[in-house]
Every structure is written in C-alpha cells, then in structure tokens.
Structure 1
Amino acid sequence: MSLTETRYTISEVEARTGLTQHTLRWYERIGLMPHVDRSHSGQRRFSERDLDWLAFVGKLRTTGMSVADMVRYAELVRAGEGTFDERRELLERTRHEVRSRIAELTDALAVLDFKIGTYAMSTVAGKAEQ
C-alpha cells in the first residue's frame, strides 16, 4: 500500500458501488471482503483493490453463485496460489450453471417471441378484415 493511494470511506464506496453500508459491513463480517484498512479513528478506508474485489463479487452475485460459495472463493484467494485448482473448479462449475440458465432463458425467449408473433399476425389479420 502506498501513502499516496486513494482511500475511500464507507459512504463513498456506497455511492460508487450501490451497495449499502450494511451490506459492506456484512461482507466484511462473513469473510467475503478481505481485511479493510482502518484509519487511526477506526473508520474503514477502502482501496482501489477493494473496489475491484467488490466489482468481481458483484459479477459472482449476478451469476447466481451462493453466498457460501462466494465466501469459499474468498477464503481460497486469501489462502494463496496453492488453491488455483480449487478456485478454477468453483468458477467452472458456476460457468456451467450460468450456461444452463442461459439455455433455459433462450428457450423461454423463443416461446415468447413465437407467441408475440402469433398475436401480432392476428392483430394485422383482424385489421385487414375490417
């Protein structure tokens, strides 16, 4: 950490990320956030690296990864390079689940498109008869 590195208060991180202060504290409490530095008065001071981590966690949340798996991933990261294989396996499993959901949604979208097209043609046909 550099003395010139920008630090952010929890309020600033809330504004930048959209995560509530309660959520940020909870992430730290459950071990999803790495140790956040504190000022001499005890206030949290987040770094750019912390913001990058929060952005990554946001992507994991978007995938539907469970909080338990996200915490496990964070533990593996803190454990170091010896956990690369386990981290990769966790991410590969999540990728497989995301691809399965995308396939389900693609199928559902095709049904919706078909139905919308059917109603659109009925509307056009009905107007032609008038």
Structure 2
Amino acid sequence: MDAGLSIGQVAERTGLSVHALRFYEREGLLADAVRRESNGRRVYTEDDVDWLDMCIKFRSSGMPLDTIRKYTELVRQGSGNEQDRLALLRSHQDHVTAQIQELTECLRVITHKVGVYEQHLAEGTAECLWVAPSTAKASEAS
C-alpha cells in the first residue's frame, strides 16, 4: 500500500494551511474519509490532493462552502445523481460566466481610463483631466 502524504506535504502541495485542511475535513468537504495511522496522524492520497485542488478552484471562483459540501455529498452517494451534480455545476458556471462578463466590462472602463491618462501625459495636457468635485471646491476655496 502507498505510504501516502502527510498533512504538511498536502499543505505544501495545495497551498492550504494545515488549519484549512483540518477545516475542510471537519466540514465534510473531502470526498473520502482521510485515513489515519495508528498514531492518529492523517494520511492523504493523491486523490485527496486532486479533490482539494478542485475545491480550491471552486472556492476561488466564489462557490460557497455549502455548495461544495452539497456537491461532495452527491459524489459520495455514488452514481444515479449525475443530473443533480450537473445542475449544481451548471448553476455555478453561469455565476462565474456572469462574473467574468462584469469584470470584462470593468476592465474595459479601466483600460479606457489608462489610455486617457497615457495620452494626456504624453501630450502634456494632464491638467485637463477630470477633477473630483470635492477636490475642485477645495481648490477654489484656497
């Protein structure tokens, strides 16, 4: 049998802290129960690392812990609930797609403003740039 990975090794490979790994286990976010050595130390498998990597991507994309937990429970139940898993993942996919569209619009505005500032700085006309109303009033008062 494979010797497995220690919690420290898994923390290093996933970028999660030891505390976070224990939290994921306690919250039922791992697909399989973590094996224990006779001394009680956790022993992880490559499958555990792969699962954690997926959970990290889910969390980084804004998936709530409750949703990850629900997905994990569905996986643990085995075959027969693939439609439920698909629906859960499609819903999150839609959420992420909307986030990307919103961020793309934000990036468009920022890119435009960067271009405006670059142009004014290159032309020496930076003083023509918009000034916040509160700043303008303060300047008028002095």
CA-atom RMSD in angstroms: 1.1
Unaligned runs of 5+ in 1: none
CA deviation vs aligned residue, 1:64-109 (integer Å, no higher than 9, x gap): 0000000010000001111111010000000000000000000000
Q: How does 1:107-122 map to 2 (within 5 A)?
A: 107-122=105-120
The aligned counterpart of 1:37 is 35
**Higher helix content, 1 or 2:** 1
Letter aligned with residue 28 of structure 1: E
The aligned counterpart of 2:87 is 89
Q: Distance between the aligned counterparts of 1:83 and 1:6, measured in 2?
A: 33
The aligned counterpart of 2:60 is 62
Unaligned runs of 5+ in 2: 126-142
Contact 1:73–1:90, Cα closer than 8 Å, also in 2: yes
If the length of structure 2 is used for normalisation, what is the TM-score?
A: 0.84
The aligned counterpart of 1:22 is 19
Letter aligned with residue 19 of structure 2: H
Residue aligned with 2:33, SS: coil
The aligned counterpart of 1:77 is 75
Moved over 2 A (4+): none
The aligned counterpart of 1:51 is 49
Structure ID, larger Rg: 2
Contact 1:38–1:44, Cα closer than 8 Å, also in 2: yes
Alpha-carbon offset, residue 6 of structure 1: 4.3
Contact 1:6–1:48, Cα closer than 8 Å, also in 2: no
